[in-house]
Amino acid sequence: MLHRPSDNEKLPAAQPDLTFEYCSDIDAEITTPVVSIKNPISGTIRVDHVAQIILDPDKIDPKQTQIIPNTQNEATA
* Per-residue model confidence as pLDDT tens digits over 54-63: 999 999 999 9
DSSP track, 8-73: TPBPPSS--SSBTTT--SEEEEE-S-EEEEE---SEEEEES-EEEEE--TTTS-GGGEEEEE-HHH
pLDDT of residue 70: 82
| Mean pLDDT score of the chain | 82
Of the candidate ranges 36-40, 46-50, 67-71, 72-76, the one whose mean pLDDT is the lowest: 72-76
In the beta sheet, which residues pair with residue 50?
34
More confident residue, 62 or 15: 62
| Amino acid 76: pLDDT | 41
